[in-house]
Chain A
Amino acid sequence: DAKTTQPNSMESNEEEPVHLPCNHSTISGTDYIHWYRQLPSQGPEYVIHGLTSNVNNRMASLAIAEDRKSSTLILHRATLRDAAVYYCILRDWGTSYDKVIFGPGTSLSVIP
């Protein structure tokens, strides 16, 4: 099973950029990279996803390494509301659901 590894926690200063890394060295050619985040006392929310090319949306940017064995979620200006657990997940077309695993994620703290 393709799995991801992330740092347990990270800190950022408010209004500074944040780079959240994710390693997925066993990624297959058909795995999409998805990022979700979970704010305190809420369900997870979708952030961004991509396959090979870098992606941008209103929430964040996703930078994918050329060999696809790692990716980085970029928050361009961290705010206090960005303090959350960030999950990096691989999704394969037609995957069996016991292989869809949310890991422990990275707990991001934002310092005012």
Chain B
Amino acid sequence: ETGVTQTPRHLVMGMTNKKSLKCEQHLGHNAMYWYKQSAKKPLELMFVYNFKEQTENNSVPSRFSPECPNSSHLFLHLHTLQPEDSALYLCASSQEPAGGPGETQYFGPGTRLLVL
């Protein structure tokens, strides 16, 4: 069982590029998340999907666009990013509906993004 996988693991892009990050979970979970982890900063929750429906957008700029075509896949589409968007982007999934008190999140290894 590979749990939560993310591709690519590393990405370098220019500010005018468009790219997408992919997350896939093989755990049969109902909720999926995107987090951002900047250097020496705590994780910041970006987006939450419950049963393919976006339930939270934590004041994320529109240059980040999530997509959840089914409960196993989550994408983060990137366009016209800024250098300060360089960070580790982590995907996670959980079994219970997001917000459940016993909810345990399983994280992927992350995509290390560098914006030039």
Contacts and interface: CB of A to CB of B under 8 A. Distances in A.
A44 B45 CA distance: 13
B69 interface: no
Interface in A25-61: 30, 32, 34, 36, 41-46, 49, 51
Interface string B84-105: 0000001010000011111111
Contact of B107 (A32, A45, A104, A105): A45
B101 A102 contact: no
A52 to B, nearest CB: 12
For chain B, give the interface size range: 20 to 34
Contact of A32 (B4, B90, B101, B110): B101
Given A43-B109, A97-B56, A97-B58, A49 B42 contact: no
Interface of A: 30, 32, 34, 36, 41-46, 49, 51, 87, 91-98, 100-105
Nearest to B42: A102
Contacts, number: 58
Contacts of A100: 45
A97 B90 contact: no
Q: Is the interface of B mostly helix, strand, loop or mixed?
A: loop
Contact of B42 (A34, A45, A97, A105): A105
18 contacts: A32-B101, A43-B108, A43-B109, A43-B110, A44-B105, A51-B101, A92-B101, A93-B99, A93-B100, A93-B101, A94-B99, A95-B99, A97-B45, A97-B48, A97-B58, A97-B99, A98-B45, A104-B42
Contacts of B103: 91
A49 B102 contact: yes
Contacts of A105: 42
A46 B106 contact: yes
B74 to A, nearest CB: 14
Contacts of B109: 41-43
B12 interface: no
B73 to A, nearest CB: 17
